[in-house]
Amino acid sequence: MGKIVRSTNSGKGIEMLSFLIFNVVVLFTQAHDVSTKSETVLTNLDQARAVGGVILSQDVVTNLAVAYLTQLQLNQLSILNHSQGKCAGFERLTATEANQPGVILSNLATADLKIKTLSLAKKTILTWNEDFQKMADLANPNQLQETVAWISSYPSRYNKAPNPNQHVDDLKNRLQQWLQGAKWNFQIETIDHHSTKQKTLRVTIPGKSRPQEVIVMGGHFDSINQGYFSGDLSPGADDNASGSANLIEALKILKNSEQPERTWEFYWYAGEESGLLGSAEISKLAKEQSKNVIAVLQLDMTLFPGSGEHVVGLITDYTSPWLRDILTSINSTYVKARLVDDKCGYGCSDHASWHRQGYHAVTPFEATTSTMNHYIHTEKDVIDTRLSFLHSNSFTKYTVLFALVLGNSDMQPPVF
């Protein structure tokens, strides 16, 4: 299936040729200078072309490509994506994946097609729950501001910086304190990665009756300054101290709730800005271990009300219609913001990693992508009057409600 199946013999010839060129280039660069180390990424076809990447495989139906890019081209790709309202915009592939580019694209095309044809038997109608409303209304914009101020006070959270884990270790220690006295047991751990020295942080609250069913809530904890050179100032207040803080504030609220029926897992992912590095490894391992992840919520940039206060962008591509429906019902039942559908292309944040592994993911965004915060990936992404903590506070509520509603229900995702 996908472009590979439909491609003619000449298609196979082109793929073999680009594979040969790929290996010749690899040999050449490795013989010279590792700093120009190139990478194989999954990204949008037109952008890979725009930066002059070596296209290893392409699918014009989904407009996706597996491409081989130099660091300079990767930098250009990131700037291009950023100018089009995306955070990352590409996923870095492993060497094994890079050797079978056609398979990557056809699997993604299959998942995407099935999602598109996924028709919901019926719309989700949630019954209003007073306790859930009370919990959600504990979300406090002033506390949220304090947490964003702390996270964005690190000069850089870049995954390739000399000390890429200071903020990760500090959050681990703070969460240990903040969650003291919780009504449930919890485990805090850091996860090492192959693709980056930066670690992902995970908090696990085991489920009471169905611990094998997992609800994931996450956001990336790294930051970047477009220059790619470590040491550059990258406070990343909106991208993504905001989403990281929404998750922290939600956990502080949920510590007063009963142990959930299903397991909650909270993630602060590493290396999103360099190609979804942490979430790609974690979601791939989950798939390999047949982990029963029921639903994934991704928060990435929640502070800039570019489309108006309480107007929230709901990303429709590479996300689940089933979960979008549930989030829409959570919003209309408890939060009452205005949701606006929008697209952001492949790899615009960590939800894409889970989606590619066949899991149901959803991501509400601070605004539509054309009206998003354009100070991201620069030293100007700091707390200023353009940002609204009242606006971002709704995302803390979404997280609390996502955990309570899905963590205590027997709702099952439709099978892909």
Residues that bind Zn ion (CB under 5 A): 87, 239-240, 300
The smaller minimum CB distance to Zn ion, of residues 42 and 405, is found at 42
Nearest Cα neighbor of 45 from 121, 108, 96 is: 108
Cα distance between residue 403 and residue 327, in whole Å: 11
Alpha-carbon distances, residue 372 vs 46, 98, 317, 339 (angstroms)? 22, 32, 17, 15
The smaller minimum CB distance to Zn ion, of residues 265 and 300, is found at 300
Contact 369, 317 (CB under 8 A): no
Cα distance between residue 306 and residue 379, in whole Å: 19
Residue whose entry in the numeric block shows the structure tokens 């995954």: 159
The smaller minimum CB distance to Zn ion, of residues 207 and 236, is found at 236
The smaller minimum CB distance to Zn ion, of residues 38 and 349, is found at 349
Least gap, CB of 368 to Zn ion (angstroms) = 16
How does DSSP classify residue 260? P
Neighbours of 166 (CB within 10 A): 14
The secondary structure of 273-316, three-state, reads HHCCHHHHHHHHHHHHCCCEEEEEEECCCCCCCCCCCCEEEEEC
The smaller minimum CB distance to Zn ion, of residues 87 and 314, is found at 87
In the three-class reduction of DSSP (H, G, I as helix; E, B as strand; rest coil), residue 280 is classed as helix
The smaller minimum CB distance to Zn ion, of residues 2 and 345, is found at 345
The smaller minimum CB distance to Zn ion, of residues 372 and 406, is found at 372
Cα distance between residue 324 and residue 330, in whole Å: 10
In the three-class reduction of DSSP (H, G, I as helix; E, B as strand; rest coil), residue 385 is classed as coil
The smaller minimum CB distance to Zn ion, of residues 57 and 200, is found at 200
Q: Which residue is nearest to Zn ion (CB)?
A: 87
Least gap, CB of 301 to Zn ion (angstroms) = 6
Cα distance between residue 228 and residue 238, in whole Å: 18
Contact 67, 40 (CB under 8 A): yes
Cα distance between residue 247 and residue 397, in whole Å: 10
Query: Residue 232, Cα to own-chain centre: how many angstroms?
Result: 23
Query: Pairing mode, if any, of strands 361-362 and 338-342?
Result: unpaired
What are the residues facing 264 on neighbouring strands?
A: 205, 215
The smaller minimum CB distance to Zn ion, of residues 333 and 363, is found at 363
Residue whose entry in the numeric block shows the structure tokens 């072309």: 49
Cα distance between residue 325 and residue 323, in whole Å: 5
Cα distance between residue 120 and residue 372, in whole Å: 30
